[in-house]
A and B are shown apart, each in its own frame.
Chain A
Amino acid sequence: QKEVEQDPGPLSVPEGAIVSLNCTYSNSAFQYFMWYRQYSRKGPELLMYTYSSGNKEDGRFTAQVDKSSKYISLFIRDSQPSDSATYLCAMSTGYSSASKIIFGSGTRLSIRP
């Protein structure tokens, strides 16, 4: 079983829809949770990060962490064609030099105009 599981999609939604992207994980020691966005032929770029449980909002994006269920989500409101990309969740224990980031396999998202 992978430490981090993510549905690969592809997910196709119409412009303006609310998008929900999700990951589950097995390691209860993870404390830092990140979402990266990767456009075609580009490297991943950090979109959002959260510490421990709760929600974090940044513009049209909301990251949600439920540590009790080992489940994280990224919501995109008023989705735009420019949001079409692969979204990777990532997480780490955050303990100094032992910290390594574990990535999900990514969900490919397409926003239809």
Chain B
Amino acid sequence: DADVTQTPRNRITKTGKRIMLECSQTKGHDRMYWYRQDPGLGLRLIYYSFDVKDINKGEISDGYSVSRQAQAKFSLSLESAIPNQTALYFCATSDLGHNTDTQYFGPGTRLTVL
């Protein structure tokens, strides 16, 4: 079984709809992240959480919100989706050790906003 799972894998929605993307992990890591990936722009950090009570905005948090329901679960919401939020969304986890912060990614959610 995959260590980091994301649901749904694909979603098509309309402008103005509320969307939730979910991420679960079995790695036992404290840190979880949400990124979006766009061609030519690479991975950009939306939100990150270092533990259940810690939520931080990333580079591009406007229009997004998150919820850390448990150590293993981190959800990303688009309150009112717009077309420029069409992208590939990745959840990632990490566990700080030896001063490195390597991340483990889920398979991604392809979101299309019409």
> CB within 8 Å of B: which residues of A?
6, 8, 32, 34, 41-46, 49, 51, 88, 92, 94-97, 99-101, 103-106
Contacts and interface: CB of A to CB of B under 8 A. Distances in A.
A43 B106 contact: yes
B80 interface: no
Interface residues of B, number: 22
Interface in B22-78: 40-43, 45, 48, 50, 58
10 smallest A-B Cβ distances: which pairs? Answer: A43-B105, A105-B42, A103-B43, A99-B101, A94-B99, A103-B42, A44-B105, A46-B102, A43-B107, A43-B108
Contact of B50 (A49, A88, A97, A106): A97
Interface in B1-40: 4, 40
